[in-house]
Structure 1
Amino acid sequence: MPAIRKSGRSTPATADAGKTITINDIARLAGVSKKTVSRIINQSPLVRQDTREKVETLMREVGYAPDPMARALAFRRSFLIGMVYDNPTAQFIVNMQYGVLDTLRGSGFELVVHPCDSRSAGYIDGVRRFVQQQKLHGVILVPRVSEDQALADMLDDIGCRYVRIAAVALDTPERMVVTHDHDGAAEVADYLLSLGHRDIALITGPADYRSAIERTGGFLGALRRRGIELPKSRVIEAGYTFESGVAIAEKLLASKKRPTAIFCGNDEMAAGVYRVALRTGIQIPQQLSVVGYDDSPLASRLWPPLTSVRRDTRDTGRIAAAMLLQTEGAPRPLSSVRPHLVIRDSCQPPA
């Protein structure tokens, strides 16, 4: 690279005469971060125009030419978005990826994914290595890992941007997409009560998932407001999987006094209820009403088609990715994806 040469205009500071100037010098002289200079070199859209003009002017004045290898490394750092998840529902993850890719298409950014086990002792260190080895521009955290404050703190410590997707606001607005699961579950309770159901069972997700906590709280709270208190035997924890839905349904539907309606914390568990009902000769919805959550493609493929709460997972992915592409530090309101009940043929008034 050429040595620094004098310019007719002054700069805030100078480098030593005869010294080869580096990207660190440009960052110091311009009063910006090295990452900002890298973005400007690689024509990233994520830099304010006035900052871009100041740094480009400075580089011209001092005759700075980026090293090709450094430029390649900066390119990798600037144009990779990571998605970290620990979620047992495959369709949910696929829909989220589709949404992220919708936003990234044509932007020059690419998506890399990192499945993990958030219950393992070293999973946060694994995420750290993933972020640092890939030199990520930013990370999308999908439930349940999005609910882990220690993971968010680690990303903050190493200077990696992130967006958390969760049922409630757990962070600042520029880092959150809120899905309002409490409200979606409350709508299910109101609907089942409007049909006349009073003996209702709830199959929840894992108790340490924030989504399960919010859906359970929203559903039971709406019932209480109408004077209905479910016994503990009617509120059963499962694992957000088809198999766990089957296991719980076998217990609920084998009892002499079975519920007239079951609300499942996701569509996978609802499909498990369908399996047991079919095997035991219980007709849906004539003898049992069933409601799911997520409104995944599975919901409309079951027979009869499943009533389910829609939270647009693909749109959630689009929003999260768009937030990472925005200028860092730009103020923004809290992003929300509002759920609503999609009524199909799996429910009717109790016999």
Structure 2
Amino acid sequence: MARTSKSAGKPTINDVARLSGVSKKTVSRVINRSPLLNQTTRQKVEQVIAELGYVPNPQARALALRRNFLIGLIHDNPNAQMVLNFQEGVLDAIRDTEFALVVRPVDRKSPGLLADISAFIMKQRPYGVLILPPVSENDAIAETCRELGCNYVRMGSARLDEPAHMVESNDRQVVGHAIEHLAQTGHRRIGLITGPVGFRSATEREAGFDEAVARLGLDAGAELKAQGNYTFESGLAAGARLLDATPRPTAIFASNDEMAAGVLHAARERGIRVPDQLSLVGFDDTAIAAHIWPPMTTVRWPIVAMARSAALKLVNPEAAAQQPSLFLSDLIPRASVAPPAA
């Protein structure tokens, strides 16, 4: 037989606590999916909630907490696919919860950046914010969040903060693995298309390239590098520069898949066949890497898993330490790499 509430209207959190024989704080922890409960207590409270048909009032909870159940996503990134992939992971983490995602693009070069972010936080009162690179690399933004009492998690290609406020990837190490793969295939003259100036990911990936080239005794020189900015168009231009050099590289590592696709286009314009006459490696493992021809060898960046962990750190700060902070990328071999032509 279903339990009934003594209150005349809708069941309240007090009713749930009384009938469960626990405190309101314990009920709140069950509602918020806190890990600080044993399974028996959780199941008992969830059963009472189901029997009463109790529905938490998000407005009342937001008022009590002095913040809304919003996850803010702050970014200034030219790679739209990267932002979409991150959103996918966040939305997966908050599915079937009362949390919602609000996206806030910013201009990282604006002198009013900190004022803009402060105004967003004070107006929206988010439960917390997720900060994407390269904005995440600005320590002043993290300090602004702390001053405003807003929880935050930063994403980066290297350690930027304490684990509870950080998800990071091993970009430098995995790029070294990619260059080793090319060297093992027989390549000694490998070109690099870098990422945008001022991006920590670009710095880490270039450092991984430089360290591998030095360690393996491969050809080195400024003529083997070209500047890109994570867009197809910049990959096309940088690829043209490298492929028009004499002698040209037998392989090219592009710091993301969009630019690698641009290199492929530049190679076809010149009648250079991939992988027969040029090997090509990208970074990210976005859909484009598998859909172009030939399918492209690339680094799989676990951005969806990183985003999911970052969101879970925000929605349950008490369990933040249980979420991983370091995510390892993997090299995904495909058909765009072959031994260099004789």
2:117 maps to 127
Moved more, 110-119 or 223-232: 223-232
1:251 — aligned with what? 241
Correspondence list, 1:264-303, <5 A:
264-303=254-293
Q: In the alignment, what sits opposite 1:348?
A: 338
Out of 309, 312, 316, the position equivalent to 1:322 is 312
State the shift of 1:195 in Å. 0.6
Percent of pairs with identical residues:
42
CA contact (8 A) 1:197 1:261 kept: yes
Q: Which moved more, 1:308-317 or 1:223-232?
A: 223-232
For residue 303 of structure 2, the aligned residue among 313, 316, 323 is: 313
- In structure 1, stretches of 5+ residues that fail to align are 1-35, 51-66
CA RMSD between the two structures: 2.5
How big is each residue's C-alpha offset from its partner over 1:155-203, in whole Å with a ceiling of 9 and x where there is no partner? Answer: 1111100011111111111111111111110111100000110111100
Query: 2:135 maps to which residue?
Result: 145
Q: Which residue of 2 aligns with 1:99?
A: 89
Distance in 2 between residues matched to 1:269 and 1:95, nearest whole Å: 17
Check conservation: 2:296, 2:336, Cα contact below 8 A: yes
For 1:157, the equivalent position in structure 2 comes to 147
For 1:131 and 1:209, locate their aligned partners in 2 and report how far apart those are by CA, in whole Å. Answer: 24
Deviation string, structure 1 residues 109-149 (Cα, Å, up to 9, x no partner)? 11111111111111221111111211100011111111111
* Structure number, greater radius of gyration: 1
Q: Is the 8 A contact 1:144 1:209 kept in 2?
A: yes
Quote the offset at 1:80 in angstroms.
0.7
Q: Report the more deviating stretch, 116-125 or 227-236.
A: 227-236
Q: 1:185 aligns with which of 152, 175, 186?
A: 175
Q: How does 1:32-71 map to 2 (within 5 A)?
A: 40=28, 43-45=31-33
TM-score by length of 2: 0.81
SS at match of 2:178: helix
In the alignment, the residues of structure 1 paired with residue 30 and residue 122 of structure 2 have an alpha-carbon distance, to the nearest angstrom, of 19
Per-residue deviation, 1:207: 2.7
Tell me, what secondary structure is at the counterpart of 1:77? coil
Letter in 1 for 2:67: R
Q: Which runs of 5+ in 2 are unaligned?
A: 1-23, 39-56
* Residue of structure 2 equivalent to 1:86: 76
Q: Which moved more, 1:110-119 or 1:333-342?
A: 333-342
Give the match for residue 223 of structure 1: 213
Letter in 2 for 1:320: A
- Please name the residue that 2:196 is paired with: 206
What is the CA–CA distance in structure 2 between the aligned matches of 1:278 and 1:68, rounded to whole Å? Answer: 56
Amino acid of the structure 2 residue aligned with 1:326: N
The structural deviation recorded for 1:327 is 3.3
Opposite residue 317 of structure 1, the aligned amino acid is A
Do the aligned residues in 2 keep the contact of 1:42 with 1:74 (CA within 8 Å)?
Answer: no
Q: TM-score, normalised by structure 1?
A: 0.79
Q: Is the 8 A contact 1:176 1:334 kept in 2?
A: no
Any idea what the Cα deviations from partners look like across 1:7-38, whole Å, max 9, x if unmatched? xxxxxxxxxxxxxxxxxxxxxxxxxxxxx99x
1:53 counterpart residue number: none
Residue 110 of structure 1 pairs with residue 100 of structure 2: yes
AA of the residue aligned to 1:158: L
Give the stretch that moved more between structures: 233-242 or 73-82: 73-82
Q: Partner of 2:3 in structure 1?
A: none
What one-letter code is carried by the residue in structure 2 that aligns with 1:346?
S
The residue type equivalent to 1:217 in the other structure is A
Asked if residue 336 in structure 1 is aligned to residue 326 in structure 2, the reply is yes
Moved over 3 A (4+): 39-50, 67-76, 327-334
- For residues 312 and 264 of structure 1, what CA distance do their matches in structure 2 show? 18
**Number of residues of Structure 1 aligned to a counterpart in Structure 2:** 299
CA contact (8 A) 1:46 1:325 kept: no
> Does the aligned pair in 1 maintain the 2:167–2:325 contact within 8 Å?
yes
CA–CA distance in 2 between the matches of 1:331 and 1:253? 47
Q: Distance in 2 between matches of 1:157 and 1:75?
A: 17
1:161 and 1:318 map into 2 onto residues whose CA distance is: 16
Distance 1:162 1:215 in 2: 25
Q: CA 1:251/1:154 → structure 2, altered by over 3 Å: closer, same or farther? A: same
* CA distance 1:270–1:142, shift in 2 (3 Å): same
